[in-house]
Structure formats: structure tokens, C-alpha cells
Amino acid sequence: MAAIFGWDTTRTLIMGVLNVTPDSFSDGGNFLDVNTAVQHAREMARAGADIIDIGGESTRPGATPVSAEEELRRVLPVVERLRDLVVSVDTTKSVVAEQALAAGARIVNDISALRFDPRMVDVVRDMGAGVVLMHMQGAPQTMQQSPRYDDVVAEVRSFLAERIALAVSQGLKKSQIAVDPGIGFGKTVEHNLQLLARLGEFGSLGCPVVVGTSRKSFLGKVLAATGARHASGADARLWGTAATVAWAVAQGARVVRVHDVAEMLDVVRMVEAIRQAR
């Protein structure tokens, strides 16, 4: 049986998104209050989320960076109240990761793949946490200005292979690591589509693949270009998300990071049922 962050499962795991930020692109401002955030996390868990991914800094293109103090102020009180759930902390700062892990989080979701903070690898190793290594070209402030690749799939794949090797050379076990192609992080619509189309090529990295397409802007752009009925509304992002989640699971994604947990759970379980019948 294949392992994800050290736990044995053949199921695809659902990572429910909880942004305790004022400015995240889809749920910004909704969960700044601790009680509201905790309640939403519990609703996602009841709806079927295996992991609750808590972020205190928006990574949307052009977002304002926040200090470690502010990120901790947003994230810690929520993590502390969810000790009974599996929590990942979406951060690039080692001090935030360290304190969140001490407060009960079990996974670090690092969109910089351990690059932005040299101490992050030590924290993950010393605290025995799981870690998601995600690809991003550039930094959130500038990443969408003119993303460029010769072969996006080959370049993202070789970046992730290097980051896995670095992490292992610093003492992490491969079983602690998952990888993520970073949909929307320094990528055009076409780059995102190519990464999804060839997602199966990431399987040979030997780590579970995480995919986050949920409600991202490329969905609306693709649908608008086809003249689809819901192209510019929230529905486009929901049904577009469903299509990409189904595709990603069929191509071997082991974890899907989503906002709409109940809906995407149905999508994931349906794809798994079809796969089992094969």
C-alpha cells in the first residue's frame, strides 16, 4: 500500500483550504475570526477533508507579504483548537512552521519548496513533519508577469527532483515528502493545462503528488475562451475545479487541495470507483 506523509492509504486525500487572511483570492476575509475559522475547519472535516490546510499569508499574484508575527497571530490560535484533526500549515517561514507544528500541525505546505527560508528543512526534519514541496517560478509578487519555460513539465519535474534530493540530503525521509507542480504559480493558462495533461509524468519522482486547482483563475479563462455559459461566474470555477480534480485523480494525484470539500469528495470517490473497476 502506498504511503502519504507516513500514513498507508490507497485513497486520494482531500486537503481542505482554510485561509485566515484578509486578501486570499477566493475566501479572503471570510475566516479571520478564530471561531469562524475553527467552525469552517470542522465543517470541512465533517464533509470529508482528511487534512485542513491553514494559511495566514495570501500567495495570490501581487499579494502583500506579511511578517512572521502577523502570520503567527492569524494561524496559531486556529491550529491550537484543531489538535484532533490533521492540519497542514501553508507557510514559507520556519518560525511559523515550527510554532504551528508545536501547536499540533503535522504537515508543512511550503510553496517555496524549502527555498525561501534556509532553516525550514531543519524544522521539518527535527519535528518529523510531513512536507509538501511545491514548484513556483519567481515569487508571488511578480510570478505572473511573464512566466516562461521551454518545456514546463520537464522543468517543473526536474526542479521537484532537485528539491527532493536536497531534502533527503539534509536528513528528511522520502516518506515525509509530497510534491506539487504549483498550478498558477508563475504559469500561463497553457502552462497549467500542460502540467495537468502530463501530470502522470510526476509519478516517477517517487513521492505522492498534490494538486491545487481549486477556483483558480485559469479555469474561468479557459471556459471564457470556449464561450461556456458560466464562464465568468463562480459556477465556472466550481465545475472547472470538478473537471480538473477528476482529471488529476485519474492521472494519479494522491492529494487534492480544494475549497469545496463536499462536492470534490463526490468527484474523487467516483473516479476511484471507476479506477477500481478497471
Residue 65, Cα to own-chain centre: how many angstroms? 18
Is 208 a binding residue for ligand HH2 by CB under 6 A? The answer is no
Is 71 a binding residue for ligand HH2 by CB under 6 A? The answer is no
Q: How far is the CB of 57 from ligand HH2 (least distance, A)?
A: 7
The 3-state DSSP class for residue 209 equals strand
Select the residue interacting with ligand HH2 from 16, 130, 212, 220 (CB under 6 A). Answer: 212
Is 21 a binding residue for ligand HH2 by CB under 6 A? The answer is yes
Catalytic residue list contains 125? no
Ranges assigned E (strand) in the chain: 3-4, 7-8, 13-19, 51-55, 87-90, 107-110, 130-134, 177-180, 210-211, 255-258
Is 109 a binding residue for ligand HH2 by CB under 6 A? The answer is yes
Q: How far is the CB of 276 from ligand HH2 (least distance, A)?
A: 27
Grid cell locating 272: 476511484
- 17 vs 265 by CB, closer to ligand HH2: 17
Is 186 a binding residue for ligand HH2 by CB under 6 A? The answer is no
> In sequence order, what are the residues at sequence separation of 6 or more whose Cβ sits closer than 8 angstroms to the Cβ of residue 84?
none
Q: How far is the CB of 110 from ligand HH2 (least distance, A)?
A: 8
Is 116 a binding residue for ligand HH2 by CB under 6 A? The answer is no
Is 90 a binding residue for ligand HH2 by CB under 6 A? The answer is yes
Grid cell locating 60: 495570490
Catalytic residue list contains 221? no
The 3-state DSSP class for residue 89 equals strand
**Phi and psi for 61 in degrees, rounded to 5?**
-50, 130
**Catalytic member of 74, 93, 187, 257:** 257
**Phi and psi for 209 in degrees, rounded to 5?**
-100, 130
- 45 vs 113 by CB, closer to ligand HH2: 113
Bridge partners, 3 (sequence order): 8
- 58 vs 176 by CB, closer to ligand HH2: 58
| Window contacting ligand HH2 (CB under 6 A); options: 57-65, 122-130, 220-228, 269-277 | 57-65
* Owner of C-alpha cell 500549515: 89
- CA nearest 202: which of 257, 161, 255, 236? 161
Catalytic site positions: 216, 257
Please give the residue ranges that form the binding site for ligand HH2 (CB under 6 A). 17, 19, 21, 24-26, 55, 58-60, 90, 109, 111, 132, 134, 180, 182-183, 210, 212, 257
